[in-house]
Structure 1
Amino acid sequence: MSSEANVQLLKEAYRQWNDSKGQSVDYWFDNVIGPQIKFDSIPRGAEPVPFARRYDDRTELRGYFDGLLADWSMEYYTMNEYVAQGDAVVARGECAWTNKKTGKVAQTPKVDFWRFKDGKAVEYHEFFDTACVAAAAA
């Protein structure tokens, strides 16, 4: 697939993610995430987001989404800039999540790095304000 096709795939996935308030997990697994993926999140499993860690197994990756949606409710998730080169795409935007235990909102810039092979994501790294998330969980 071309860089533009990868961008369009992500635009639709992020649109559904935002519109469903995080309930479109199956869409990601059916259309975006490849059979083998290296997934990494900047907290690396640290509290208060132990699910936001490194995954090398697609089946285990469900734990990321299960943990996220168990503890947080999405307010919005907007990616409005995409930069693509070859098989890589960087998406930049902003998101806000409410911690279900504290009721506090974490509003943070968001940057996601994706690498694709044969139209499916094989690598992902997410970056966000971890201090903001920790404050909302405390």
Structure 2
Amino acid sequence: MSQAVVSAELLEKLRYAYAAWHDSRGTSDDTWVALMADDIEMRSIADGAPGMEFSLPRKGKDTIRGYFSGLRADWEMIHYASEEFIVEGDRVVVFGRCAYRNRKTRKTAESVIVNRWRFHNDLAVEFFELYDTAKAFAAAVPDPA
């Protein structure tokens, strides 16, 4: 059985979504949701831990908006830059850099990012994000009084 291949058109849509995410400072939810299958599985390395509750695992397109609203409630995007896209079969891995400021502590976390996507029928069915959780958790913890 042959493996599906990410089309040039789909890759261009993905590149556009990353650019829109940066340009909108993290408010272009609809652009992401349009790329996702109804049963998408979304995971983050932080896995919903305290201080990063928005990152809990999600299944289904209808739950993805909770990720975005939770992220925005606690964090303000400074920048999000995709730098490299690697395509193999039905998968795309995106390397880049991002920085967010925690709204409560006002501390900034800057990190490399790695996002792993899997597509089926030109829609995302899996997404997994990796970033420097030590920096993110440090930014989420208030300084001692």
Regarding TM over 0.5, the answer is yes
- 1:17-28 aligned at under 5 Å gives the runs 17-28=21-32
Counterpart in the other structure of 2:43: 40
Letter in structure 1 aligned against 2:29: V
For 2:8 and 2:31, locate their aligned partners in 1 and report how far apart those are by CA, in whole Å.
Answer: 19
Residue of structure 2 aligned with 1:13, choices 3, 8, 17: 17
Letter in structure 2 aligned against 1:69: R
Query: What TM-score, normalized to structure 2?
Result: 0.90
For 2:115 and 2:7, locate their aligned partners in 1 and report how far apart those are by CA, in whole Å.
Answer: 15
- 1:1-138 aligned at under 5 Å gives the runs 2-30=6-34, 32-138=35-141
Shift of residue 2 of structure 1? 3.4
Shift of residue 3 of structure 1? 4.1
| CA deviation string 1:63-120 (max 9, x = no partner) | 1111000111100000110100111000000000000111111100100000011111
Secondary structure, in 3 states, of the residue corresponding to 1:51? helix
The higher radius of gyration belongs to 2
Shift of residue 5 of structure 1? 2.9
| CA deviation string 1:20-74 (max 9, x = no partner) | 00010111112x1111101111111101111102111211221111100011110
For the 8 Å contact 1:42–1:53, the answer to whether it is kept is no
Q: Which runs of 5+ in 2 are unaligned?
A: none
Taking only aligned residues, the RMSD between alpha carbons, in angstroms, comes to 1.2
Q: Percent identity?
A: 40
For 1:50 and 1:74, locate their aligned partners in 2 and report how far apart those are by CA, in whole Å.
Answer: 17
Deviating above 6 A after TM superposition, structure 1's stretches of 4 or more consecutive aligned residues are none
